[in-house]
A and B are shown apart, each in its own frame.
Chain A
Amino acid sequence: MEDRLGEIRGGGPPKRHNARTVAALTGNPGCTRRAVLDSAGADKPALAERLGFPARFGQSRFAITRGNAFEAQLKADGGVELLRLVAERLGVPVPAGATWTDLGGDDDRPERSRAALTAGGVGPALFDHPLLGLDVAGRRVHLEPDLVAARLAGRFHVVEIKSFPVIDGQADPAKVAAAAIQSAVYVLALRELLAAEGHDPELVSHEVVLICPRDFGNRPVASLLDVRKQLLVLRRQLARMARVDDLLATVPAGFTADPAADPAALAAGLRQVPARYAPDCLAVCELAQFCRHEARGHTGALGRPVREALGGVVEVADVLALAEGGRAPEPEQAEAAALLRAAARLRADALTGNPA
Chain B
Amino acid sequence: MSTLRALARAQAVAAGRAQPVATVRHLHLSDRPLVLVPLALAGEANAPLAALVGTAPDEARLLLVPQPRNRDQRFAFAAELAGVLLPYLDSFRGGTEAVAVDRGRDVRHRYVDAPQLLVPNPAGITFLRLFGRSTRFRRPDGDHPVHPSVPVLGRWLTFFAERAEQPGSAALVALTDALTLHWATGQSAVEDLHLPAVLGWLDPPPGSTGAEAAARAEDPAVCPPAGPATDPDFDNHRLAPAIEAYAAAEDDPVARAAAYDVLAGLLRDQLAPTWELMWRGVGLLRAVPPGARVAGRWAGDRDAFTAHAEHVDAGGGPQPRRDGAVAAALRLQRLERALTGWAVQRAYDDPLVMAEHRLAGEAFVGEVTLADPKRVDDSGRRPVLRPRIQVVTTEPVPMPVGATLFSPARPGQKATVVFVTPGADGKTDVVLELSGGMGRGLTAPAGSVPEVGERICLTSLSDGFLPGGAFPAPEETPWTHGGPPEQHAE
Chain A residues packing against B (C-beta within 8 Å)? 56, 58-67, 163-165, 167-169, 213, 215-217, 279-280, 282-283, 296-297, 299, 301-303, 305-311, 316-317, 319-320, 323, 339-340, 342-344, 346-347, 349-351, 353-356
CB pair B130–A356 under 8 Å, yes or no, is no
Contacts of A303 in B (CB 8 A): 1, 188-190
Closest to A57 in B: B232
Pick the contact of A167 from B10, B45, B230 — CB < 8 Å? B45
Question: Given the known A-B contacts A61-B235, A316-B13, A350-B352, are A302 and B359 also in contact in the complex, defined by CB atoms under 8 Å?
Answer: no
B321 lies within 8 A of chain A by Cβ: yes
Question: Given the known A-B contacts A56-B220, A58-B236, are A346 and B358 also in contact in the complex, defined by CB atoms under 8 Å?
Answer: yes
CB pair A356–B457 under 8 Å, yes or no, is yes
Question: Given the known A-B contacts A168-B133, A343-B3, A355-B455, are A302 and B9 also in contact in the complex, defined by CB atoms under 8 Å?
Answer: yes
B236 CB to closest chain A CB (Å) equals 5
CB pair B354–A350 under 8 Å, yes or no, is yes
CB pair A350–B7 under 8 Å, yes or no, is no
**Which of B42, B186, B220 has the most chain A CB atoms closer than 10 A to its own CB?**
B42
User: In the docked arrangement, what's the CA distance between A56 and B408, Å?
Assistant: 49
Pick the contact of A282 from B130, B190, B355 — CB < 8 Å? B190
CB pair A347–B236 under 8 Å, yes or no, is no
CB pair A346–B359 under 8 Å, yes or no, is yes
What are the interface flags for B34-63 relative to A under an 8 Å C-beta threshold, 1 for contact and 0 otherwise?
A: 000000011111100000000000000000
CB pair B188–A60 under 8 Å, yes or no, is no
Contacts of A323 in B (CB 8 A): 7, 10
User: In the docked arrangement, what's the CA distance between A119 and B349, Å?
Assistant: 72
A352 CB to closest chain B CB (Å) equals 10
Pick the contact of B4 from A168, A217, A301, A343 — CB < 8 Å? A343
B240 lies within 8 A of chain A by Cβ: yes
CB pair A346–B355 under 8 Å, yes or no, is yes
B340 CB to closest chain A CB (Å) equals 20
B6 lies within 8 A of chain A by Cβ: yes
B23 lies within 8 A of chain A by Cβ: yes
Contacts of B13 in A (CB 8 A): 296-297, 302, 316
**Which of A164, A297, A351 has the most chain B CB atoms closer than 10 A to its own CB?**
A351
Contacts of B187 in A (CB 8 A): 301-302
**Which of A60, A299, A353 has the most chain B CB atoms closer than 10 A to its own CB?**
A60
CB pair A302–B186 under 8 Å, yes or no, is yes
Closest to B4 in A: A343
User: In the docked arrangement, what's the CA distance between A215 and B137, Å?
Assistant: 12
B105 lies within 8 A of chain A by Cβ: no
Contacts of B354 in A (CB 8 A): 350, 356
Contacts of B8 in A (CB 8 A): 347
User: In the docked arrangement, what's the CA distance between A58 and B236, Å?
Assistant: 9
CB pair A215–B45 under 8 Å, yes or no, is yes
A to B CB contacts below 8 Å, 14 in the list: A58-B233, A60-B42, A67-B43, A165-B46, A299-B6, A310-B3, A311-B3, A343-B3, A343-B7, A346-B4, A346-B358, A347-B4, A347-B352, A354-B351
Closest 4 CB pairs of A and B: A63-B43, A58-B232, A60-B42, A165-B45
CB pair B3–A320 under 8 Å, yes or no, is no
Contacts of B191 in A (CB 8 A): 279, 282
CB pair A64–B322 under 8 Å, yes or no, is no
Contacts of A350 in B (CB 8 A): 23, 351-352, 354-355
CB pair A279–B23 under 8 Å, yes or no, is no
CB pair B10–A302 under 8 Å, yes or no, is yes
User: In the docked arrangement, what's the CA distance between A297 and B9, Å?
Assistant: 11
User: In the docked arrangement, what's the CA distance between A320 and B13, Å?
Assistant: 10
Pick the contact of B7 from A62, A280, A347 — CB < 8 Å? A347
Question: Given the known A-B contacts A167-B133, A356-B354, are A310 and B45 also in contact in the complex, defined by CB atoms under 8 Å?
Answer: no
Pick the contact of B14 from A168, A215, A316, A340 — CB < 8 Å? A316
Pick the contact of A347 from B1, B46, B232, B355 — CB < 8 Å? B355
Closest to A166 in B: B45
CB pair A216–B355 under 8 Å, yes or no, is no
Contacts of A216 in B (CB 8 A): 45-46, 134
What are the interface flags for B446-463 relative to A under an 8 Å C-beta threshold, 1 for contact and 0 otherwise?
A: 000000000101000000
User: In the docked arrangement, what's the CA distance between A227 and B133, Å?
Assistant: 30
CB pair B235–A62 under 8 Å, yes or no, is yes
Closest to A344 in B: B7
Closest to A309 in B: B6
